């Protein structure tokens, strides 16, 4: 049975929130042996920046870097963000001070983090990266916080993974070939080449490469988990037990998995325990009813 666009969007946004709210309890820890589902499920900046992006698209009926940046500033001024990373925080502070959205993003080697990849998911339902103008818009959205090619390519890998599923592709090993053929030369692409030629599990990947906030570590891991996993909670458990940047990696995994399998693939009872789930659901519903001019 075909999965409706509305169910894919709800699966993507709520799947990301699920991974984020569970993973945030384990962020920065070493490997976790005894996993227990946290009693208090609260989302962090991974979901909050994604929701702010959705709100911009719904409000303007367009994918506008300027509007998205303005929504980020609005949330920042209202103190609605939690757990903001250093690169994103730098951008928000400078945006709040009047900086231009195209100039405030972090640059340099240390700016190849997850801040763009973790919030790009909603764009996958509106922009086709095979269209030059759309690909430029995707890059511009990334550069609001991260003016770094590797960070952009990591975000592009997440977006293309979601579009692959939305366009009818199954999450299997073919996704690796699709991404390798469509991504620019980068550390993210090189890592996907290694994964394609191996039988790495989630645990095996982390032991070899780590689960850090570096986009070339985290994005391929999230994609690997989405392709190799068959049950969302089992995969989230495996990811958080590996330690590291658990909230962002589990969130990106949840976005890809939820977009591919739809809302029905998610555990409703656990979803309903997330603080702010009503707002998140409403945002996803509004986004699914939104169309943009192309």
Tell me the average pLDDT across 261-266.
96
Distance CA 216, CA 177 (A): 17
Distance CA 243, CA 235 (A): 13
pLDDT confidence bin for 282, thresholds 50/70/90: very high
Distance CA 136, CA 84 (A): 25
Tell me the average pLDDT across 2-30.
94
Q: What is the pLDDT of residue 106?
A: 92
pLDDT digits (tens, 9 = 90+) for 21-34: 999 998 887 777 78
pLDDT at 11 over 90: yes
- Quick one: what percent of the chain has pLDDT higher than 90? 92
Distance CA 54, CA 284 (A): 8
| Predicted TM-score (pTM) of this structure | 0.97
Tell me the average pLDDT across 123-136.
97
Distance CA 13, CA 280 (A): 8
List the one residue out of 48, 47, 43, 144 whose CA is nearest residue 96. 144
Q: What is the pLDDT of residue 292?
A: 87
CA atoms 94, 99, 100, 105: torsion sign: negative
Per the prediction, the chain carries an average pLDDT of 95
List the one residue out of 245, 23, 270 whose CA is nearest residue 117. 245
Distance CA 14, CA 20 (A): 10
Q: What is the pLDDT of residue 294?
A: 62
What is the Cβ-side half-sphere exposure of residue 233, based on CA atoms within 13 angstroms? Answer: 11
Distance CA 242, CA 264 (A): 27
Q: What is the pLDDT of residue 29?
A: 78
Q: What is the pLDDT of residue 244?
A: 92
**Which residue ranges form the domains of the chain, and what is each CATH number?**
5-288 (1.10.4080.10)
pLDDT confidence bin for 69, thresholds 50/70/90: very high
Q: What is the pLDDT of residue 183?
A: 98
More confident: 134 or 32: 134
Tell me the average pLDDT across 197-223.
95
Residue 214 near residue 207, CB atoms below 8 Å: no
Distance CA 31, CA 139 (A): 34
With 0-12 / 13-18 / 19 or more C-beta atoms within 10 angstroms meaning exposed / middle / buried, residue 178 is middle
Tell me the average pLDDT across 116-128.
98
List the one residue out of 209, 258, 208, 190 whose CA is nearest residue 10. 258
Distance CA 137, CA 64 (A): 8
Distance CA 246, CA 127 (A): 28
pLDDT at 126 over 80: yes
pLDDT digits (tens, 9 = 90+) for 142-184: 999 999 999 999 999 999 999 999 999 999 999 999 999 999 9
Tell me the average pLDDT across 82-105.
96
Residue 171: alpha-carbon gap to chain centroid: 16
List the one residue out of 127, 148, 149, 147 whose CA is nearest residue 138. 127
């Amino acid at each position: 049975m075909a999965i409706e666009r509305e169910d894919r969007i709800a699966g993507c946004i709520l799947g990301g929130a699920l991974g984020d709210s569970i993973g945030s309890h384990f962020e920065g820890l070493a490997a976790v042996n005894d996993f227990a589902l946290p009693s208090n499920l609260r989302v962090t900046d991974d979901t909050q920046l994604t929701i702010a992006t959705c709100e911009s698209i719904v409000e303007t009926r367009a994918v506008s870097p300027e509007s998205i940046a303005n929504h980020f500033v609005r949330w920042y001024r209202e103190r609605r963000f939690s757990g903001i990373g250093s690169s994103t925080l730098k951008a928000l502070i400078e945006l709040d001070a009047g900086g231009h959205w195209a100039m405030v993003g972090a640059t340099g080697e240390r700016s190849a983090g997850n801040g763009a990849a973790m919030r790009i998911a909603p764009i996958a339902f509106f922009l086709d990266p095979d269209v030059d103008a759309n690909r430029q818009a995707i890059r511009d959205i990334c550069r609001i916080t991260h003016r770094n090619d590797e960070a952009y390519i990591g975000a592009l890998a997440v977006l293309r993974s979601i579009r692959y599923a939305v366009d009818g592709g199954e999450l299997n090993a073919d996704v690796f070939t699709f991404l390798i053929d469509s991504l620019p030369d980068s550390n993210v692409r090189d890592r996907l080449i290694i994964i394609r030629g191996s039988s790495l599990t989630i645990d095996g990947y982390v032991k070899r490469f780590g689960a850090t906030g570096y986009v070339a570590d985290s994005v391929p891991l999230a994609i690997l988990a989405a392709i190799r996993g068959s049950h969302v909670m089992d995969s989230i458990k495996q990811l958080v037990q590996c330690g590291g940047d658990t909230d962002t990696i589990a969130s990106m995994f949840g976005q890809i998995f939820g977009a591919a399998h739809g809302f029905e693939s998610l555990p409703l009872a656990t979803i309903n325990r997330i603080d702010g789930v009503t707002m998140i659901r409403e945002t996803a519903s509004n986004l699914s009813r939104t169309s943009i001019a192309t």
